[in-house]
Amino acid sequence: MMTLGPLDHREAVRYLGDSRVAMTEEMEALLTECEEEVLAAADPKFLYKVKELPCPELMVGKDIAEHLDGCSKVVLLCATVGAGIDRMLRIAQVKDMSRAVVLDSMSSVAIEQVCRKFDEFIAEEYPDLYQTFRFSPGYGDYPIDLQKWFLTELDAPKKIGLTTNDSYLLIPTKSVTAVMGLSETEPPKRKRGCASCNLRETCNFRKRGAHCGA
């Protein structure tokens, strides 16, 4: 369905929580090993569906309305790097936590790459339309419990094995659901702040009160 390209080491280091640390040869070697392991374990998949607006089920809260302002269509996305990644992370956590944290970051890089490839794919499919950035349940006031609606709408459990639990955690964990607006006119530039970042709940920068600068 799709293949992953090289995983960005700097991005993995950023997810590890500290760009201040000077890179060492050993760390670079560890990153390379973990990149290989993630690429071998990943089974990247995505599903999407284009819907005409208005779509009342989708419009919950103020933020999504603002985000999709001026859009005529939306693209719903479900993406995952698969259950093999979770298993790899479980094994690493038993055997060697230091490796596990790097694998975890590298897996985050992998799912983000799937999403970026998807953005490019949509840009090719709809060359005449402008895209908003991807907006996910849990961003701003957009309710996390919409996860279930996204998954049902795209038949994600059956088609790509993506589910949630009762707390609306996506499982496999390295996965994304999102909506992207498509518009005939260029949407106003919006700052993509922490509230609309996939790492908003796990980000080490935020914990320190800092910002990644992305």
Partner 1 sequence: MLETREFLFLDGAMGTLIQKSGVQYEHNPETLNLTHPDLITSFHRAYLEAGSDLVYANTFGANTYKLEGSGYTTEEVIKAAIRNAREAAKDFDALVALDVGPTGQLLEPAGSLSFEEAYDLFAEEIDAAADADVIVIETMTDLYEAKAAVLAAREHAPGKPILVTMTFETTGRTFAGVSAEAAALTLSGLGVSALGVNCSLGPRDLEPVIERMSHYTDLPLIFKPNAGLPDPNSSEYDIGPEEFAESVRDIAKHGLKVVGGCCGTTPEYIAKLKEALADVTYTPQQKIEGPVICSPSTIVHINGPRIIGERINPTGKKLFKKALQENNIDYILNQALSQVEAGAEILDVNVGLPEIDEREMMVKVLKAIQGVCDAPLQIDSTKPDVLEAALRAYNGRPIVNSVNGEEKSLSTVLPLVKKYGATVVGLTLDEKGIPKTADERFQIAKRIVERAEAIGIPREDVFIDCLTLTVSAEQDACQQTLEGLHRVKTELGCKTALGVSNISFGLPYRELVNRTFLTMAMEEGLDLPIINPNVASMTGAVRAYRVLKGIDKNSLEYISAYQDYTPPESGGAAPAAPAGSAHAGGSPAPESGAGLSPLQNAILKGLKTEGSNATKELLLTEDPLSIVNGELIPALDKVGADFEAGKVFLPQLIQSANAAQECFLVIKEEIARTGSASVSKGKVILATVKGDIHDIGKNIVKVLLDNYGYTVIDLGRDVDPRLIVETAMKEDIEAVGLSALMTTTLGSMEETIKLLREEPSLRNEDGSSKVNVMVGGAVVTPDYAEKIGADYYCRDAKATVDACKTVFKN
Q: Which residues sit at the interface with partner 1, rule CB under 8 A?
A: 13, 16-18, 20-22, 24, 26-27, 29-30, 33, 43, 82-84, 86-87, 89-91, 93-102, 104, 138, 144, 157-158, 160-161, 163-169, 171-173, 201-204, 206-208
Residue among 126 and 187 whose Cβ is closer to partner 1:
126
Residue among 166 and 186 whose Cβ is closer to partner 1:
166
Sign of the Cα torsion 185, 188, 191, 197 reads: negative
CA 82 to chain centre: 13
Least distance from C-beta 62 to partner 1, angstroms? 18
Least distance from C-beta 105 to partner 1, angstroms? 9
What's at 76, amino acid-wise? L
Pairwise CA distance, residues 5 & 178, whole Å: 22
Least distance from C-beta 41 to partner 1, angstroms? 10
Closest of 81, 63, 79 to residue 181, by C-alpha: 63
- φ, ψ of residue 135 to 5 degrees: the values are -120, 130
Least distance from C-beta 181 to partner 1, angstroms? 19
Pairwise CA distance, residues 102 & 92, whole Å: 10
Return the structure tokens found at 18.
């500290």
Residue among 131 and 173 whose Cβ is closer to partner 1:
173
Residue among 70 and 91 whose Cβ is closer to partner 1:
91
